[in-house]
Amino acid sequence: MTTTLALANQKGGVAKTTSVATLGAALADLGHSVLLVDLDPQACLTFSLGIDPEDLTASVHDVMVGHRSASEVLVGTEDGPDLLPAAIELARIETEFAAVSGRERLVATILEALADEGITYDWVILDCPPTLGVLTVAALTAADGLVVPLQCETLAHRGVGQLLDTVHDVREHTNPLLAVWGVLPTMYDGRTSHARAVLETIAETYDLDVVSPTIPKTIKFAEAPAAGRSILATARSSKGARAYRDVADWLVVRAARDA
């Protein structure tokens, strides 16, 4: 059985991409098969996994517009997971599909086509762009669960309500089974009462579970993307790597609860 997770938050810089790359590597290390899908036209996930988007002959955009099959575009990564890479063309989807009916199923259709070819995974993790547009709605439509990476600072709550409104719409129209797994506090400094207060307020206000453990702020993360590997490879025993491994364990337990 496949568990499909969307990591979404329309705020940029909250560690969506870092979390997708690192959790993907951690789940692969646990022996799970993992597909990561880069749904951000900035292609940061693709780049951070060691693939230069400019060298690609085809990307997830070609699959969405029907020029390539997903299996032709899939690439392996040194961290273990397979990747459906993005390139800048993906930015065109928002306008190309703005008025096309069925656009909500752009991602679900790709995953179904892969399954039809016999290509299945234990985990599919979707890296969403920092918007609530076509691509994020398509990710939420394809997902079993949503994890919301959150930087616990002042004003972090702005946007969470809007994201949850989008979840509500998706449940109503395209994916009634979408579950909000929780918020994942990233770049978290638990020593400050401010970060703890922000997290508590958000969890209470929106009745959200908090993924455990929290991910500490660490300089190691800034260095990993340049190496084309996640910090599980570049800084195996750092506290950030350990925290993500523990979150991967949490995800496995959470998925078993739904199975």
The residue ranges that bind ligand ADP (CB under 6 A) are: 12-18, 44, 130, 186-187, 215, 217-218, 221-222, 240
Residues 17-46 that bind Mg ion (CB under 5 A): 17, 40, 44
Q: In what order do the strands lie in the sheet with 82-84?
A: 75-76, 82-84, 34-38, 123-127, 3-7, 145-151, 179-186
* Residue number, 41 or 114, with CB nearest to ligand ADP: 41
Residue 18 beta carbon to ligand ADP: minimum distance, rounded to whole angstroms: 3
Shorter beta-carbon distance to Mg ion: residue 111 or 128: 128
Binds 10: which of ligand ADP, Mg ion, none (CB < 5-8 Å by kind): none
Q: 4 or 151, CB closer to ligand ADP?
A: 151
Using CA atoms, how far residue 24 sits from 76, 121, 217, 240, 253, in Å, is 12, 12, 19, 14, 16
Q: Cβ of residue 187: shortest distance to ligand ADP, in angstroms?
A: 4
CA distances for 99 relative to 89, 95, 102, 103, 109, angstroms: 18, 8, 9, 8, 18
Q: For the chain, list the strands marked E by DSSP.
A: 3-7, 34-38, 75-76, 82-84, 123-127, 145-151, 179-186
Between 109 and 186, CB nearer to ligand ADP: 186
Q: Name beta bridge partners: 190.
A: none
CA angle 241, 181, 82 (to 5 degrees): 55
Total binding residues toward Mg ion, as defined by CB under 5 A: 4
Q: Choosing among Mg ion, ligand ADP, none, which partner's interface includes residue 166 (Cβ < 5 to 8 Å by kind)? A: none
| Minimum CB distance to ligand ADP, residue 45 (Å) | 8
Enumerate binding residues for Mg ion (CB under 5 A): 16-17, 40, 44
